[in-house]
Chains A and B, each alone.
Chain A
C-alpha cells in the first residue's frame, strides 16, 4: 500500500507543481505533526461514509488541543444500525453538521504538508482520499505516521519472537495514557497524540509479554 501511494504522490506532485495546492507537496520542515481520526459508518472504504473528523496538532512534547479540528458532517445515507452502536452518533446528532466540501477544505487547511499521525492511519487517509481525489485531483500528500508501528518499533526489542498486541486499548494501557472519550473523532485523535508524545519523549514502556 505504501509504495503505490508514494509513486502516485510523485505523479500528483508533478501535476500540481504550479497549481494553488503546490504548497501541500513541499517537503515538511517543521516539528509538528497532525493527529487525525475519522468516525465512519463502516470499515469498508468503498461503501462507508465519514461522519466526523477530529484532528489536533502535536508540537514537540505538547499536544496543542487549543489548535484542533472538530468537524461534524451532514448525516450520510449509510448511517445505519451497526456503526451507530460503535460510535454512538445518531442522525439527529449530526443535524448541524457541515457539507463534505467545506469539511475537506478545512482538513487540507489544517493539515497542510505536516505528517499525519493516526492509529491505522491508512484507513483514515484512504477514507479522506476517496472524497478528496474526485474534487481536487490528488490525495492527501502528507507523510503518514502509524502509531502502532512507532509502538511496535520500540517494543519489539523487548519481546523477541513474540507477537505484539497492537490493540488500541492495550497500547493505551501499556503506555499508561488515559483514554479520553473513546470513539469520538477528536477524543481518539488526542489520545493517539498523547501516546505518540509519550513514545517519542518518554522512556520505553515496561511490557511483560
Chain B
C-alpha cells in the first residue's frame, strides 16, 4: 500500500496496473544511518532499493590496504533506484553506502524477478545497456512529441482571410477577383449566410453545366459549410478534412466568420520547412537573397527539435544547409574563372557536420601553386564579413579565410600540416585537430584531396605522433562525481566532460586508420566496420555522443530564447536542474561510457602514468 512510492518514474511506469499493485503489496521500507552500508559488495542483495529520502553512494569495494580513497561511481538521491543489476545477478557488485540518513523502499528480489519475468519492457530496462535504455525513453517520449505536434491550435497562424463577394456577383467577375487575389476559393454572402465557391465549382458550372458567364455565383455556392472554432486543435481540422473529403474549413468564433483554413496550409505547418529553405538558397541570385534564406535556418532548427527529430539527422540536414549557403556565397563572390583553382574548406565542428546552432566559422582556402589572383585576400575579407552578417560568428582563434595564415597554396598547406604534426606546441596540435576534420564545400575539391592524401601518407606508422595527439582527449576529467552535489552544483561543461573526449579520441583513431569520413558518427561506423572498435562500443559511444549533443542543443535553444540578443553566451553548459530524473540517469550512464573510452585510449596509445 505505501502510496508514498512513486510509480510515475521509469522503469516502474512501464508496469501494468496489476503489476504495480503487486509491487506495492511487497514493498518494505528501510531506514539507514549516515555511513551505514546498505549492500556490501559480494553479499546477497535483499532487492532493489528506491530512495525515498536521503543520499546513497555506489563505490568500488575497498581492499583493506588501498590508499583509503574509495572510488565513488555514482551517488543516488531521492527517487533514484539502485541495485537492479545486483538483484538480478544475485550478488551485489559494489558497495552501497548511505551518505546521509536515508529512507528507502525495498523491492524484494523475488518481486523484481517476477516483474522481470512478466514484463519484457521492464526487464529490458533493468538489464540492457545504454542504447536500449535510450530507445525505451525515446519510445515513451514519442507520445510527448506527438502531443506537442497535435496541440497546435487553429488560430496559430494558418487562418487565411477569405475573399467575400455579395449575392448577385456574376461568375465571370468572381473568377477575375479570384485571379487577382490569387485565391482558389471565395465566400458568397447571401442574407446572413455564407456559401463557398471553389475554382472547381466555377469550372463545373461553366463547362459541365453550361451556365452563362453572368449567372449569379450565389446559385452555385454550397451552403453546407464545415466549420471549426479557432481554439480547436489544428489536428482536428485535419481529421475533419479527411473525414469529409474536403480541402477547406471555415473558422467561426461565436457565429462570427474568422477565416478559412486550407489543407495545404495545415500540411505545410506540420511538415518541416527544410525543403523550402533549400530551394531559397538555390534560387538566391544575390547576396541579399541568400541572407534572407540564411535567416530561416534558426527557425528550422527549432521546429525540427520541437518535432522530436533525432538530433543526429537534424545535424546532417543542417550541415548540408550550411554547406550550401557557403558554397552559394562563394559562387556569388568568387569569379567563375578562378573557382577551379581554389578550394574552400570548412573545419572543426563544421567540417564534421556536428554543429547545430550556427557556431563560429572555421574555414580556410587552398589554392593551386602559382595561382595569380591579386584580389584574393580582399575577396576573402569580404567573404568572411558577409558570413558574419549571415549570423555565423567570427572565430575567436581567427581561423577564417580573412586571416592570410589560413589562405595557402597547396604546397604551403601540406608543409603546415607536416610542421604541426611534428610540433609539440599546444596551439599547433589544436590547429592540426581542427584541420584534420576539414571538408571541401566549394571550388575544386581535388586540391583538398591531394593535400589530405599526402598527409595521411606522411603519418603512416608514426606512433609517437598518435600517442601525443591522443593525449589531449584525456585532458579534462569526466564529471562523474558531480552528481552527488547535484543540488548546489547544478551545472557542468558537457563539451569538456563528454563531447570533446569522444570526438577527439575517435578523430585520433580514425586518423590512424585513414578513415576519410569527418563526421564522428560516420567515423565510428567506419571504425566498427573495419573492426578497429567493437561494434558494441561504437554503438554505445554513438548513443552517448548523441545524448550529449541533444541535451546541449535543447538548453542552447532555451537560453538563446531567453537572451535578448538571441545568442547563447554559455553554449557548453548543461544545467542539470532542468533535466528530469530519466535524463540524469542517461547522462550518468553516458559519462560512464566516456570514462571507459578514455581508459581504452590510455591503453591503446600508452598514455599510462597520468
Residues of A within 8 A of B (CB): 61-66, 68, 70, 176-178, 180-181, 186, 190, 193-194, 197-198, 201-203
Known: A194-B29, A201-B31. A62 touches B3 (CB 8 A): no
CB pair A61–B32 under 8 Å, yes or no, is yes
Return the chain A residue nearest B34 by Cβ: A203
A68 to B25, CA, bound (A): 9
Can you identify 29 A-B contacts, CB atoms within 8 angstroms?
A: A61-B30, A61-B31, A61-B32, A62-B30, A63-B28, A63-B29, A63-B30, A64-B28, A65-B1, A65-B27, A65-B29, A66-B27, A66-B28, A176-B53, A176-B101, A177-B103, A178-B4, A178-B52, A180-B2, A180-B3, A180-B4, A190-B29, A194-B29, A194-B31, A194-B103, A198-B31, A201-B33, A202-B33, A202-B101
Contact of A186 among B1, B52, B53 (CB under 8 A): B1
B252: interface (CB < 8 Å) = no
Residues of B within 8 A of A (CB): 1-4, 25-34, 52-53, 101, 103, 106, 108
Known: A178-B53, A194-B103. A70 touches B31 (CB 8 A): no
Residues of chain A contacted by B1 (CB below 8 angstroms)? 65, 68, 70, 186
The smallest beta-carbon distance between B113 and chain A, in angstroms, is 15
Return the chain B residue nearest A61 by Cβ: B31
A69 to B461, CA, bound (A): 74
Return the chain B residue nearest A197 by Cβ: B31
Q: Considering residues A62, A63, A66, A177, which has the most beta carbons from chain B within 10 angstroms of its beta carbon?
A: A66
The 5 A-B residue pairs whose C-beta atoms are closest, nearest first, are A63-B29, A197-B31, A66-B26, A180-B4, A62-B30
Return the chain A residue nearest B101 by Cβ: A202
Contact of B25 among A64, A66, A186 (CB under 8 A): A66
CB pair A65–B2 under 8 Å, yes or no, is yes
Return the chain A residue nearest B46 by Cβ: A62
A177 to B28, CA, bound (A): 16
Return the chain B residue nearest A177 by Cβ: B103
A190 to B28, CA, bound (A): 10
Residues of chain A contacted by B3 (CB below 8 angstroms)? 180-181
A66 to B28, CA, bound (A): 5
A74 to B108, CA, bound (A): 33
CB pair B31–A63 under 8 Å, yes or no, is yes
A181 to B24, CA, bound (A): 15
The smallest beta-carbon distance between B51 and chain A, in angstroms, is 12
A193 to B52, CA, bound (A): 15
Residues of chain A contacted by B26 (CB below 8 angstroms)? 66
A202 to B31, CA, bound (A): 9
Residues of chain A contacted by B33 (CB below 8 angstroms)? 201-203
Residues of chain A contacted by B106 (CB below 8 angstroms)? 62
Return the chain A residue nearest B4 by Cβ: A180
Residues of chain A contacted by B103 (CB below 8 angstroms)? 177-178, 194
Known: A70-B1, A180-B4, A194-B103. A62 touches B52 (CB 8 A): no
The smallest beta-carbon distance between B561 and chain A, in angstroms, is 37
A106 to B29, CA, bound (A): 23
Q: Considering residues B26, B29, B34, B53, which has the most beta carbons from chain A within 10 angstroms of its beta carbon?
A: B29
The smallest beta-carbon distance between B360 and chain A, in angstroms, is 50
A61 to B34, CA, bound (A): 13
A62 to B49, CA, bound (A): 12
A128 to B108, CA, bound (A): 32
Residues of chain B contacted by A194 (CB below 8 angstroms)? 29, 31, 103
Contact of A66 among B32, B53, B108 (CB under 8 A): B108
A194 to B54, CA, bound (A): 14
Return the chain B residue nearest A186 by Cβ: B1
Return the chain A residue nearest B31 by Cβ: A197
The smallest beta-carbon distance between B100 and chain A, in angstroms, is 11
Residues of chain B contacted by A177 (CB below 8 angstroms)? 103
Q: Considering residues B4, B33, B34, which has the most beta carbons from chain A within 10 angstroms of its beta carbon?
A: B4
Residues of chain B contacted by A198 (CB below 8 angstroms)? 31, 101
Return the chain B residue nearest A57 by Cβ: B28
Residues of chain A contacted by B108 (CB below 8 angstroms)? 66
The smallest beta-carbon distance between A50 and chain B, in angstroms, is 19
**Additional A-B contact list (5), CB under 8 Å, known A62-B30, A198-B31:** A61-B32, A63-B29, A66-B26, A178-B53, A201-B31
Residues of chain B contacted by A66 (CB below 8 angstroms)? 25-28, 108
Residues of chain B contacted by A61 (CB below 8 angstroms)? 30-32
Return the chain A residue nearest B3 by Cβ: A181
A74 to B255, CA, bound (A): 57
Return the chain A residue nearest B111 by Cβ: A66
Residues of chain B contacted by A65 (CB below 8 angstroms)? 1-2, 27-29
The smallest beta-carbon distance between B38 and chain A, in angstroms, is 10
The smallest beta-carbon distance between A10 and chain B, in angstroms, is 35
Residues of chain A contacted by B2 (CB below 8 angstroms)? 65, 180, 190
Q: Considering residues B1, B4, B101, B103, which has the most beta carbons from chain A within 10 angstroms of its beta carbon?
A: B1
The smallest beta-carbon distance between B50 and chain A, in angstroms, is 13
A68 to B27, CA, bound (A): 10
A50 to B1, CA, bound (A): 21
A197 to B36, CA, bound (A): 14
A25 to B31, CA, bound (A): 30
The smallest beta-carbon distance between B443 and chain A, in angstroms, is 68
A32 to B28, CA, bound (A): 14
Residues of chain B contacted by A70 (CB below 8 angstroms)? 1
Residues of chain A contacted by B4 (CB below 8 angstroms)? 178, 180-181
Residues of chain B contacted by A193 (CB below 8 angstroms)? 29
A186 to B1, CA, bound (A): 9
A61 to B26, CA, bound (A): 17
The smallest beta-carbon distance between A172 and chain B, in angstroms, is 13
CB pair A62–B29 under 8 Å, yes or no, is yes
A169 to B465, CA, bound (A): 68
Return the chain A residue nearest B29 by Cβ: A63
The smallest beta-carbon distance between B282 and chain A, in angstroms, is 62
Residues of chain A contacted by B32 (CB below 8 angstroms)? 61
A197 to B33, CA, bound (A): 10
The smallest beta-carbon distance between B462 and chain A, in angstroms, is 61
The smallest beta-carbon distance between B114 and chain A, in angstroms, is 13
A193 to B28, CA, bound (A): 12
The smallest beta-carbon distance between A45 and chain B, in angstroms, is 27
Residues of chain B contacted by A63 (CB below 8 angstroms)? 28-31
The smallest beta-carbon distance between A68 and chain B, in angstroms, is 7
The smallest beta-carbon distance between B399 and chain A, in angstroms, is 56
Q: Considering residues A180, A193, A198, which has the most beta carbons from chain B within 10 angstroms of its beta carbon?
A: A180
The smallest beta-carbon distance between A71 and chain B, in angstroms, is 12
Residues of chain A contacted by B52 (CB below 8 angstroms)? 178
The smallest beta-carbon distance between B34 and chain A, in angstroms, is 8
A61 to B53, CA, bound (A): 15
Residues of chain A contacted by B25 (CB below 8 angstroms)? 66
A193 to B25, CA, bound (A): 17
A61 to B32, CA, bound (A): 7
A31 to B3, CA, bound (A): 27
A180 to B28, CA, bound (A): 14
Return the chain A residue nearest B107 by Cβ: A66
Residues of chain B contacted by A178 (CB below 8 angstroms)? 4, 52-53, 103
Return the chain B residue nearest A56 by Cβ: B29
